[in-house]
Amino acid sequence: MTPPGGEIGSAHSPAHAAHGAAGHAHEESYRPVLVGTVRDELDQILKRYPTRMAALLPALWLLQDARGWVSEHSMAEVAQVLDLTPAYVKGVVTFYTMYHQHPVGRYFVQVCTTSPCMACGAEETVAALLRHTGCGELGTTSPDGKFTVIEVECLGACGFATPVMINEEFVESVTPDKVPTILAQLR
């Protein structure tokens, strides 16, 4: 499980939101992402579509893969490259739940709690994850910056309740007793 690199673990705490003082420090040090080989990749993607706007979701993925989240400056960068306005890009970013608008833990843990998983004990799995990661509550990052746990709507693996997604990896049939072992493999 590859942790996202770049901005994570930089000067400010991973638990910070992308505004206020932390956001300001970020502004001065912002390095563009869509340059060099990443820009080449984006140029290849652009060939698949008849409009530049259509490359927005893929471009945002490139940004998030590089930095671990999508900051206001990243939004401005992609807006400029794709001939869009920063406001338009922000409108799209905020619509989709998978783009992080603030830094998250090195391991981003998503637990399905929609009804089918809930009926199979997802709430206990969530409680175990919050306890063993040290996150304490949903949406916050653990003090060591390693984990953020969130509840997520249906992950599309209901027959393997409870599915948990850790960064890009899917772990099926997670029960509270399996949680310590799963987390130990990450530490």
Partner 1 sequence: MGFPHAIHAREEAVLSRYFGDSDALSLDGWKKRGGYKALEMALGMEPAAIVNVLKDSGLRGRGGAGFPTGLKWSFMKPGDGKPHYLCCNADESEPGTFKDREIMRWTPHALIEGCAIGSYAIGAETCYIYIRGEFSEPLRAVGNALREAYDAGVLGTNAMGTGKTVNIYIHKGAGAYICGEETALMNSIEGRRGNPRIKPPFPAVAGLFGQPTTINNVETLAAVPQILVNGAEWYKKFCLSNPKSTGTKLFSVCGNIAKPGNYEVVLGFPFKEFLYDMCGGPLPGRKFKAIVPGGASVPIQTPEEAEATLMDYEGFVAQGSMLGSGGVIVFDDRQCMVKLIGRFARFFAHESCAQCTQCREGTAWVTRILERIEAGGGTMQDLDTLLDLSENMTGKTICVLSDSCAAPIVSGIKKFRHEFEAHITGKRCPLRTAAA
Question: What is the C-alpha to C-alpha distance for residues 179 and 168, in angstroms, rounded to an integer?
Answer: 17
Nearest approach, Cβ of residue 103 and partner 1 (Å): 18
Q: Please report whether residue 82 would count as binding partner 1 according to CB under 8 A.
A: yes
50 binds partner 1 (CB under 8 A): yes
Task: Candidates 3, 6, 116, 176: give the one binding partner 1 (CB under 8 A).
Answer: 116
Should residue 54 be labelled a site residue for partner 1 when binding is judged by CB under 8 A? yes
Mutual angle of helices 86-93 and 72-81, in 10-degree steps: 120
In the complex, least distance from residue 11 CB atom to partner 1, rounded to whole angstroms: 27
**Whole-angstrom Cα distance, residue 105 to residue 22?**
16
Applying CB under 8 A, does 43 fall inside the site for partner 1? no
Among 14, 67, 74, 110, binds partner 1 (CB under 8 A): 110
When the beta carbons of 22 and 71 are compared against partner 1, the nearer one is 71
**Of 105, 45, 101, whose CA–CA distance to 73 is shortest?**
101
Task: Identify which range of 17-25, 27-35, 112-120, 138-146 contacts partner 1 by CB under 8 A.
Answer: 112-120
Contact 123, 135 (CB under 8 A): no
